[in-house]
Amino acid sequence: MDHIWKKKDLLSLYDLNADEITEILDTAEEFKKVNQRNVKKVPALRGKTIVNFFVEPSTRTILSFELAEKRLSADTINISASTSSLKKGETLLDTVRNIEAMQVDLVVIRHSAPGAADFLAKNLNVGVINAGDGAHSHPTQGLLDIFTMREKKGSIKGLNVSIIGDILHGRVARSNIWGLLKLGANVTICGPRTLVPREFEQIGVRVCDKIQDALEGADVVNMLRIQQERQEGGFFPSTAEYSKYFALNKRTIKYLSPDALIMHPGPINRGVELDSEIADGPQSVILEQVTNGLAVRMGVLYLITGFLNNEKK
C-alpha cells in the first residue's frame, strides 16, 4: 500500500499537512484495535532497533514509546542524560552520532532545548522523533489529543477547542494549535496575558482573558499544566492567584457544556489548573488520552519505519 507519509522524522505538527496528520490518525485507529486484542503484539517492526533518549524527565511519553515499540516487535533501548556521557561533557550530537554508528533505525529524543530534535534530524541519517523539545513542540502529544477529540466528537472540522493555561511555555499548546488549525478547528487560547502570546491571533487563534469566555461554547477544553520549571520570569503573582482566575473547578465548570470534553496532557497539578473532582469526573478523558497515545505512537513508528524501508530499497 502506498502511504502519504514520506518523511524520515517527526519533528513538529507545524511541518505536516492535513493529509499527513489524517494518515497518522487513521493508522493509529487500526493499532488501537490491536491494543484491544488478547494478543497485543504485531511483527511490523521486527529487526528494527529504536533508542529512546530522554534528556528531560518523562513518565507518560517514554513509557508509551517503549510500549509502542515493543507491541510492534522492535528492539528498544532507553538512555537518560544522567546515565550517558553527556554528564562527562560529550556534545548531544556526538552522543547521538555514536548511537547511530551502532546501526539503530530510529532515535526518539526529549530535550529541554527548543530545536534539539530538528538539529539532530538535520545531522543524522537515522529517523528522529521529537518527544518534546523545551517550549517548542510535542507532536505525538498533539496527535493523541487530536485523535481523542476526533474519536469522541466524530470530526475536527468546526470543533471549538479551548486551550487554557501556560501557552507561552507550552509545547503541547503549540502542537495542538498547529494540528487543530490544519484540520479546520476553531481554537481559543486563554490564560494570564504574560503567558498567552497575542501573536497567535495572526494565525487565526482567538485569544481571551477570561476563563468564562473560553469555556462558553467550547466542545473541548484542554487544561495545560503550569510549568513550574519554566516560570523563573515571575509571569503571575502566585499559584493561588493563577488558580483564582484560570482553574477549572466547581465554580467555573458551570460555564462549560455538560457534553464538552475535559482534557489534560499530564502531569496534572491537582488543585492548581484543575480540581481533582473535575479531573476524575464524568467529562474527563484524561486517561483515555494516555490509552490513545500508545496507538498514536505505534502509528507514527509504523509510518516512519515504512518510509525508511522504502528509501533503502
- Cα dihedral: 204, 21, 67, 129 (round 10): -80
Task: Give alpha helix (H) positions in 18-91.
Answer: 18-35, 60-71
Judged by CB under 6 A, the stretch of 14-22, 54-62, 91-99, 228-236 that binds ligand CP is: 54-62
Taking a C-beta distance cutoff of 8 angstroms, is the pair 263, 153 a contact? no
Chain-centre distance for alpha carbon 228: 19
When asked if residue 141 is in the footprint of ligand CP (CB under 6 A), the reply is yes
231 binds ligand CP (CB under 6 A): no
Site mask, ligand CP, residues 189-228, x = CB under 6 A?
Answer: ----------------------------------------
Q: How far is the CB of 57 from ligand CP (least distance, A)?
A: 7
The reply to whether 123 sits near ligand CP by the rule CB under 6 A is no
Q: What are phi and psi of 34, to 5 degrees?
A: -60, -40
Interface with ligand CP includes 230 (CB under 6 A)?
no
> Taking the complex as a whole, how short is the minimal distance between the CB of residue 255 and ligand CP, in angstroms?
26
Cell numbers 488558580 correspond to 243
Q: Min. distance of Cβ 23 from ligand CP in angstroms? A: 23
The count of residues interacting with ligand CP (CB under 6 A) is: 10
Segment contacting ligand CP (CB under 6 A): 73-81, 159-167, 245-253, 263-271?
263-271
The whole-angstrom separation of Cα 13 and Cα 30 is 21
Q: 49-54 and 75-80: which strand pairing?
A: parallel
* C-beta of 11 vs 207, nearer to ligand CP: 11
134 binds ligand CP (CB under 6 A): no
Identity of the residue numbered 223:
M
* Residues 57-86 contacting ligand CP, CB under 6 A: 58-61
Which three-class secondary structure state does DSSP give residue 114?
A: coil
User: Measured from the CB of residue 3, what is the shortest distance to ligand CP in angstroms?
Assistant: 26
Nearest distance, CB of residue 213 and ligand CP, angstroms: 26
SS3 190: strand
Contact call for residue 142 and ligand CP (CB under 6 A): no
Q: Which residue has the cell 538535520?
A: 122
**Is 61 or 222 the residue whose CB approaches ligand CP more closely?**
61
Reported residue count of the chain is: 313
Q: Which residues contact 73 (CB under 8 A, 6 or more apart)?
A: 41, 42, 43, 44, 45, 46
Q: Which residues bind ligand CP (CB under 6 A)?
A: 58-61, 132, 138, 141, 265-267
